[in-house]
Every structure is written in C-alpha cells, then in structure tokens.
Amino acid sequence: MKLGSHVSMAGKGLLSAAQEAHSYGANTFMVYTGAPQNTIRKKIEDLYIEEGKAYMQEHGISEIIVHAPYIINLASPEKRTFKLAVDFLTREIERTEAIGSKHIILHPGSHVKTGEDVGLARIIEGLNEVIYKEQKVKITLELMAGKGTELNYDFNHTAAIFNGVIHGDKLAVCFDTCHVHDAGYDIINNFDGVLEEFDKIVGLDRLEVFHINGSLNPRGARKDRHANIGAGLDNPKGLDHIGYDALHYIVNHEFVKDKPCILETPWIDKNTNLYKEEIAMLKAEKSK
C-alpha cells in the first residue's frame, strides 16, 4: 500500500517534506511547490532536492505527488486568466520534473457560466498549449465535486478532455473520494461498480492517483468539504458521511493498493492534524 498525506515544503524544501511524511508513517506524500493561492516560488536550486531524495531512499518513501496551485483555471473565458494558467502550469511542470515526481495534480477548471461544453473546450485548448511530446510528467486531472461551475465532476467530462488532447498519453486521473462522493457516485456501497463505470467511459488505465478524504456532506451534495476519516458527531470538524469502512475498503482494494493514496483531511487546528492516526487506521487489517 502506498499511503501518505499532503506535507509542506516550507523550510528545507523536499527534505522537510520527506521528514514530515516519515513522521506520519507514510511511504508516499504530496506537496505544493509553493503556496497554492499564488505564483511565488523558490528557485529550484533552493529546494533541497538531492537531500530530500536521499532521505526518501533511506526511509522507504518511494513516490512524490505534486499538486498544481488553485489559481490555475484552464476553463476561464478571460484571456489574462487563461494565459496565466497556461504559463504557470508550464513552469510548474518543470518544477515537478526537477523534484522527481511523475504526476502533477490539476483541478481542470471552472467555466464561469460560459457553459460546460465551452469550458471543456477551453481546458482542451489550454492542455494542448502546455503539453509537449517529450514531457515526462503526467498532468493528472482531479475528479471534482461539481461545486459552482467547476468541471470534471462527471466521468464524461474526463473522457471528453482525453479525447480532445493531442498527447493524451501525458494525462492521467486522480480519484478524490470526497469529490466523487459529493458528485453523486456511490463509493460507499458500490465502489467496484463506480470503477466499472469509470472503466467503460474513460478507462482504468488512466486512473493513477487517489486522494483519500471523508466528506462532510451526503452523496450528491456537490459541496467539496473534506472530513476526517471516520469522524463522529463529537469531532469538531463534523461527521464523515463516507465512513471508515468504505475508505478502508478503497485503500485496500486490489486495484488501488499499488497507487499513491494521499490524505487531505482537515487539520484540527493550525498546529494539529490526524494524518499519523488516520494512516495507521487505514493500514489496520480489519475495520473498527
């Protein structure tokens, strides 16, 4: 099982991130190369990449996932926003490759009331500008919850993007349990059926990364509010509507267990998260 969480590159870059991941009992992890809300980034040579890779090898951490910043919106109808998205995603791919990651997770974008077909066409246009034939990093499209005007909450959106991108082999998919649940797919009672549906529409060979999160909302709410795994009503962050048993089944599933599974569950406060406890829970042989 490849199981980890989002960690920070603050301080000594990749080395700090790997050390934090190891402290949670993780063997994989995900980072933003800088703050997800802006374009400010350290120089690649200041990211302690070789030190981080050496620490990973020493402690059995085998894979890094990079997440693109939220400010990238390839579906935007606004020229300046679209150009920023294309240019910054291009630079983030360079940083992802330098770090040694094979995947950069991308929220494909929101159509901002121009309509889903127009937004999807815009995403395809942007990806075709960004992707080049020799690219080593896969832009990994995250399945979304469908809040507001965001796209890729429907497997058919994903298929349309793949069908429109020239170098489709440079794309992959990230399955976020909270998002897919909130989008209306029944991962609690019929995860295998959801995988079968995805396989028919997109293809399971495209599905390469998982985000493992509970949800504060019932299925189909299209809200995208993450919950701690198995959190009860007495938890300050609220009830997890997906539940421990379903998420334990997913991370231990034959198809999933060799894919990077990344926790993005809420912090209790600014200094406290439950990543170590949640990783241990999911690794346990039997559900509680």
User: CB–CB of 237/273 below 8 Å?
Assistant: no
Q: Please determine, for residue 49, whether its predicted confidence score (pLDDT) is greater than 80.
A: yes
Instruction: Tell me whether residue 211 is annotated as binding.
Output: yes
Give the start-to-end residue ranges of the domains of the chain: 2-283
Q: State the average pLDDT for the chain.
A: 94
Torsion of CA 59, 105, 100, 17, to 10 degrees: -40
Burial class (CB in 10 A: 0-12, 13-18, 19+), 11: exposed
Torsion of CA 123, 127, 130, 131, to 10 degrees: 170
How far are the Cα atoms of 14, 152, 202, 274, 277 from residue 156, in angstroms, in the given order?
Answer: 36, 8, 8, 34, 36
Q: Please determine, for residue 60, whether its predicted confidence score (pLDDT) is greater than 80.
A: yes
Read off the DSSP letter of residue 229. Answer: T
Instruction: Tell me whether residue 107 is annotated as binding.
Output: yes
Task: Name the amino acid, one letter, at 33.
Answer: T
CATH, range 2-283: 3.20.20.150
The 10s digit of each residue's pLDDT in 141-196 is 999 999 999 999 999 999 999 999 999 999 999 999 999 999 999 999 999 999 99
Instruction: Tell me whether residue 103 is annotated as binding.
Output: no
Instruction: Tell me whether residue 248 is annotated as binding.
Output: no
Instruction: Tell me whether residue 20 is annotated as binding.
Output: no
Rounded Cα–Cα distance for residues 54 and 61 (Å): 10
This model's pTM is above 0.85: yes
